[in-house]
């Protein structure tokens, strides 16, 4: 028990950047330290964008889950604190209308499948979705590593170019260049796949 206490104290003395590197290496203790440093602060910050504390707490928790699950991208983040703030802000700024529309579409699909007696069609639909996901992953695998990271931050994390540049410690022009490379690679792969 004593050694865990010392290990925690040792981790607690590390910088945020060092902790992010340890999270990348799957060190749960490092995630616990980042969580204890920022959870309450980020919840307070989130209240500027959403008045329901339960929603804020859920979104902030999601950020830490995302941090753990996308650990391979942490190596490139040079400024962990702004990164956390930006991701929380973006999660809380997601349009409510979009969420309602998505729920409505999901409900419509559920209703359609509930009334559809054709199990074969469901299997075909599932296979097509899996094929589509594999094609997307195949295309993304052709994007150079740094360009893919920036593309994912822009398209998946919905960060603006300026936010990405601050998080990664690069210029906005560099972000734009990497996005251009990613988009060109995607275009080329789509054209190539259409030929077959």
Q: For the segment 34-75, what is each residue's pLDDT rounded down to a tens digit?
A: 999 999 989 988 887 888 899 899 999 999 998 898 877 877
> Scanning the structure block, which residue is given the tokens 């022009």?
173
CA 131 from centroid of its chain's CA atoms: 22
Q: Is the pLDDT of residue 89 over 80?
A: yes
Taking every pair of Cα atoms in the chain, the longest distance, rounded to a whole number of angstroms, is 64
Sign, CA torsion 34/40/46/52 = positive
The pLDDT score that the predictor gives to residue 158 is: 75
Percent of the chain surpassing pLDDT 90:
24
Confidence of residue 142 (pLDDT cuts 50, 70, 90): confident
Residue 19 contacts residue 33 (beta carbons within 8 Å): yes
Q: Is the pLDDT of residue 7 over 70?
A: no
The pLDDT score that the predictor gives to residue 6 is: 45
Q: Specify the DSSP class assigned to residue 117.
A: -
Range of 9-13, 109-113, 138-142, 168-172 with top mean pLDDT: 168-172
C-alpha distances (whole Å) from 27 to each of 21, 30, 34 are: 9, 6, 11
d(CA 149, CA 164): 10
The pLDDT score that the predictor gives to residue 1 is: 45
The pLDDT score that the predictor gives to residue 49 is: 80
The pLDDT score that the predictor gives to residue 11 is: 82
Confidence of residue 97 (pLDDT cuts 50, 70, 90): very low
What is the CATH number that goes with domain 119-196? 1.10.10.10
Q: Where are the alpha helices (DSSP H) in the chain?
A: 2-12, 16-24, 28-46, 53-69, 80-93, 96-115, 119-141, 145-155, 161-168, 172-194
Helix orientation angle between 145-155 and 172-194, rounded to the nearest 10 degrees: 100
What six digits make up the tokens of 151?
A: 């593309």
Mean pLDDT to the nearest integer, 140-158: 83
Sign, CA torsion 130/135/136/137 = positive
| Domain ranges within the chain, ordered by starting residue | 1-94, 119-196
Cα-atom radius of gyration of the chain, to the nearest Å? 20
- Looking at per-residue confidence, does 68 or 121 come out higher? 68
The pLDDT score that the predictor gives to residue 108 is: 58
Q: Is the pLDDT of residue 33 over 70?
A: yes
d(CA 162, CA 168): 10
Helix (H) or strand (E) segment spanning residue 116: none
d(CA 87, CA 166): 13
Domain 1-94 maps to which CATH number in 1.10.1740, 3.90.220, 1.20.1070, 2.30.29?
Answer: 1.10.1740
């Amino acid at each position: 028990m004593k050694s865990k206490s010392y290990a925690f104290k040792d981790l607690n003395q590390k910088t945020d950047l060092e902790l992010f590197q340890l999270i990348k290496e799957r060190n749960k203790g490092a995630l616990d330290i980042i969580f204890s440093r920022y959870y309450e602060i980020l919840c307070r910050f989130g209240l500027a964008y959403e008045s329901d504390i339960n929603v804020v707490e859920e979104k902030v928790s999601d950020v830490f889950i995302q941090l753990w699950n996308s650990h391979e991208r942490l190596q490139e983040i040079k400024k962990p604190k702004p990164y956390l703030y930006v991701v929380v802000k973006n999660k809380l700024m997601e349009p409510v209308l979009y969420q309602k529309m998505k729920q409505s579409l999901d409900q419509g699909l559920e209703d359609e499948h509930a009334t559809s007696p054709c199990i074969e069609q469901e299997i075909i639909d599932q296979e097509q979705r899996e094929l589509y996901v594999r094609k997307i992953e195949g295309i993304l695998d052709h994007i150079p590593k740094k360009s893919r990271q920036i593309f994912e931050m822009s398209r998946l994390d919905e960060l603006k170019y300026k936010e990405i540049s601050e998080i990664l410690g690069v210029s906005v022009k560099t972000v734009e260049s990497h996005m251009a490379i990613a988009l060109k690679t995607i275009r080329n792969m789509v054209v190539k796949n259409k030929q077959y």
